[in-house]
Structure 1
Amino acid sequence: MSALAESAAAELGDPRLPRLVLRLAGPAVVGISAHSLQMVANALFVAGLGPAAVASVALVQSMTLAVAALGYGIGIGTASVVSRALGRGDGRAAGEAAALGLALTLPAGALALALLLPDVEAALRLFGAPASVVATARAYAPLAVIATAVMLVHIVGGFIARAEASARFSMTVMVGAFGLNILLDALFILGWGWGIEGAGWATLVSQAAAAAAYALYFRTGSGLRLRLCLRRAAGIVREILAVGASASAAALLAALSLVLLIRAAAAEGEAAVAALGLALRILDFGMLPVLGLCSGAEAVLGFAHGAGDRARLDRALRLVLAMAAAYALAWSTVAILCARQLLAPLAPDAATLALAVRASNAIETAFPLWAVAAVVLTRFQATGAAHRAAALSFAPQGCALPALLLALVPAWGFEGVVASRALADAAACLLALLLLAAGRRRDA
């Protein structure tokens, strides 16, 4: 095993679990929260351009989530294989998995560009954009799609860095990239008057800088020694995709659920679409720290599983569940009590603000339940429990949400849209606990 792999294994084997989880998750939380702050800052800049611009950003975000889903799947699958290999003491296999994970970003990015760029307007209409929003988003959407394809290197590189216990480097890249994005938003939108197109250029430049940082990181030997072994490549790729497919499915279904929600809200008008987008943006601000916690914890869970230490795996899971639930309860309380204050700076007018407050309050009630489901899903992904991860990824957003929208929207209108999202999160939590209990009985 290389010196770097030995160092990573020694760190991931630290017996002080709370300290280890915080040391790995802390930088991930900071970095991913920087993404959240960047999204809020972007919304502040775009809010001055009118409701159509706000709705455009919300719709394009749903489209680019489908692209980012590919990166999350590859990244989570690669991190699972890397951390379990380090747990077994196999540094060579960890380096091979890291190299293949990064290589997979090339066909994934090319596929996304081939599907979306030839006719961006048709893609926007498919995602539920009204005609006025399509016209506004025309200049922004292609840049956002290209930026998200470039972001795949950033996403996968970050998962690999955290899996090898280099969470601080991952944090540095994320904070730097999203900080640069904010600065460029201010320059391009306010300083140079490029409007919504400026937001697209800011995202593209900042993500290109992040991808360059990871290229330098691995090229200089600061990370795992990347190596390709054609003889073992097919097996490693299958292992990455077996775990990553559920993660990609979860992210794709999140994008699909956003499409379904926006299409349902569009029946209520442009203000309803903008309001839903703002409510979900505030929700994202709360969600991203939980995702950061899960991202940091994945390495701990995967390493324990790879080492065959079931007691350590269970202790780590209980610890992360407690941390996620406590934070989520605190955040949802603040978000509900301060909804108007949080949303007012982002809303272009009073009517949109009123709708956004109603939507946010309904969605935030189920946030702690979503947090529990997210941690359990991370446990399944980290340990290679692909079937359970796939079931938990698909059922809530793929089955429950469409059924709830069909049942509730005709009777309740906009309230039915937001209630459907909250109830789908509750269904995810229930299913997660059932699958976890069934898995424990099977493994006993």
Structure 2
Amino acid sequence: MGVSLWRQTWPMAIGVMALLGFQLVDSVFIAHLGTAPLAAQSFTFPLSFLIIGIQVGLGIAIAALISRSLGAGEEERARRLGTLVLLAGSAIIGLLALLLWWIQDPIFTRLGADAATRALIRDYWAPQLFAAWLGAVLYFAYSLFRAHGDTRLPGKVMVITSLLNLVLDPLLIFGLGNWPGWGLPGAAWATAIAFGGGLLVVGVRLKRTDWLARQGLGHELSHSARPFVAIAAPAMVGQLMPPLAAMLAVSVAAGLGESTVAAWGLASRLETLALVVVLAMTMSLPPWLGRCYGAGDWEQVRRLLRLALKVVVVWQLILGLTLAMASPWVAQMLSGSSEVRDDLAILIRFLLPSYAALGTCMLVVSAGNALGWPLRSMLLSAARLFLFYLPCLWLGARVAGLPGLATGAAMGNLLAGLAAWKLLRRRLNDAASGPACVLHRGEKASFTQRRRT
């Protein structure tokens, strides 16, 4: 089982590391433009996370429904679902991007960006939204591959797009020869071109599969809309809460100065890269759990989750403590400004070790969506952010400034991890008394029928 989990996870881990790595590279290149452009990019992170949150919520529903259909032997339905979610997801993210462009000034004003910073953001925001839409469509395609058990192609394409972005970033940001480059917007255009190349590769591969359907889409839409919304809605709400929390966190950081906002933006990029193994497992594990759920194999579910949690905790503790000890050198590599560098070193020292607890919470939320606990997963996400993380972060900043901000965020992560572990133990103990106790009412009949056959 451990070998199988590793085979499913390592391609996604490499791919996610490459994808998130080039986002960090974007910030490093932008840091060389100065503190103001880096702060401007940092103000856009919460809204970028908003788009990512919705696409991840839709992707969770895609992977869960398709993997359950495959686990129950309903291959034709899986094909119809794959087509529907690709079309609907692309339209939803496109509309959201248009909305975020239209309301950008009031949002960034409320986040604390001054007029000069908003002017920098305005040039960057349109290409960044276009890149985000391309990335969302590509992510939906990745979800389709993961649901069918193929994690290698998404991992390879993520590496390809990251390398392409790495090459294009310095050319489009700083220019070449007599061409001065585009500055901050150049980073967004590099991302858009990289995602476009990835879509071409994935689109060609999808044409060679039989995972999509053209017939029966209308009937499938009416039949699957309710279960899809039942999974996607709580998952999206759960994924939308981190961007909202990020907006509030940026507002708190903005009260401590421009250099703190810039350092917080770099720390946010470093956070996603440090959590690469966790993020890969949240992509590779749910389809596997979904198949076990469809087959009613709860013993296998327990074994998978125990193994995954052990890997996450051990890995994140080793990585977090290592980076915390090396925080001055890591901060120096990521930022050229001495003020930003000092602030970033403090954030790394406190935050990175706490990601073992944060990773535990993320894995439990992801597993809950795949195992028919979407509402509890949503409530756990809400508790993590609004009961633990933000209150501790705000209180720490009020009491001790930047060190308090970092300490409070770490304490919030620790409390969230403990709450997630307690919830998971209780739900798995409930499952031991029979599968029906953990299924939604609308699914009990179909589960019973599958068990009989």
TM-score (norm 1): 0.91
SS of equivalent residue, structure 2 residue 123: coil
Q: Which amino acid is 2:64 matched to?
A: S
- Which residue of structure 2 aligns with residue 320 of structure 1? 308
SS of equivalent residue, structure 1 residue 365: helix
- Which residue of structure 2 aligns with residue 103 of structure 1? 87
Give distance in 2, aligned partners of 1:183 and 1:239. Answer: 43
- Which residue of structure 1 aligns with residue 352 of structure 2? 364
Give distance in 1, aligned partners of 2:403 and 2:244. Answer: 19
| Residue 421 (str. 1) matches residue 405 (str. 2) | no
Give distance in 1, aligned partners of 2:210 and 2:384. Answer: 37
- Which residue of structure 2 aligns with residue 264 of structure 1? 252
Is the Cα–Cα contact under 8 Å of residues 32 and 288 in structure 1 kept in the other structure?
A: yes
Larger mean CA deviation between 259-268 and 109-118 belongs to 109-118
* Deviation (angstroms), 1:254: 1.6
1:79-121 deviation digits (Å, cap 9, x = unpaired): 0111111111111121122122212223312321231112433
Give distance in 2, aligned partners of 1:43 and 1:410. Answer: 28
| Residue 45 (str. 1) matches residue 33 (str. 2) | no
Give distance in 2, aligned partners of 1:313 and 1:127. Answer: 42
Is the Cα–Cα contact under 8 Å of residues 328 and 367 in structure 1 kept in the other structure?
A: yes
Please give the root-mean-square deviation of Cα atoms over the aligned residues, in Å: 1.8
- Which residue of structure 2 aligns with residue 236 of structure 1? 224
Q: State which of 314, 320, 338 in structure 1 corresponds to 2:326.
A: 338
Aligned length: 427
1:265-291 deviation digits (Å, cap 9, x = unpaired): 111110111111122222221112210
- Which residue of structure 1 aligns with residue 50 of structure 2? 66
The aligned runs of 1:97-176 (5 Å cut-off) are 97-176=81-160
Q: Which amino acid is 2:344 matched to?
A: A
Give distance in 2, aligned partners of 1:199 and 1:233. Answer: 38
Is the Cα–Cα contact under 8 Å of residues 294 and 375 in structure 1 kept in the other structure?
A: yes
SS of equivalent residue, structure 2 residue 208: coil
CA separation of 1:148/1:88 partners in 2, compared to 1, >3 Å: closer, same or farther?
same
* Deviation (angstroms), 1:299: 1.6
SS of equivalent residue, structure 1 residue 268: coil
- Which residue of structure 1 aligns with residue 438 of structure 2? none
TM-score (norm 2): 0.89
Give distance in 2, aligned partners of 1:299 and 1:366. Answer: 27
Q: Which amino acid is 2:325 matched to?
A: L
Is the Cα–Cα contact under 8 Å of residues 109 and 150 in structure 1 kept in the other structure?
A: no
CA separation of 1:39/1:437 partners in 2, compared to 1, >3 Å: closer, same or farther?
same
* Deviation (angstroms), 1:342: 1.4
1:284-343 deviation digits (Å, cap 9, x = unpaired): 211122101221111211111111111111111111111111211111011101111112
Q: State which of 56, 62, 67 in structure 1 corresponds to 2:40.
A: 56
- Which residue of structure 2 aligns with residue 204 of structure 1? 192
Give unmatched runs, 5+ long, in structure 1.
Answer: 1-16
CA separation of 1:132/1:416 partners in 2, compared to 1, >3 Å: closer, same or farther?
farther
Is the Cα–Cα contact under 8 Å of residues 390 and 409 in structure 2 kept in the other structure?
A: no
CA separation of 1:213/1:267 partners in 2, compared to 1, >3 Å: closer, same or farther?
same
SS of equivalent residue, structure 1 residue 366: helix
Larger mean CA deviation between 301-310 and 203-212 belongs to 203-212
* Deviation (angstroms), 1:25: 0.9
* Deviation (angstroms), 1:147: 1.2
Is the Cα–Cα contact under 8 Å of residues 59 and 143 in structure 2 kept in the other structure?
A: yes
- Which residue of structure 1 aligns with residue 164 of structure 2? 180
* Deviation (angstroms), 1:50: 0.2
- Which residue of structure 2 aligns with residue 225 of structure 1? 212
Give distance in 2, aligned partners of 1:326 and 1:73. Answer: 27
- Which residue of structure 2 aligns with residue 306 of structure 1? 294
| Residue 393 (str. 1) matches residue 381 (str. 2) | yes
CA separation of 1:59/1:411 partners in 2, compared to 1, >3 Å: closer, same or farther?
same
Is the Cα–Cα contact under 8 Å of residues 15 and 158 in structure 2 kept in the other structure?
A: yes
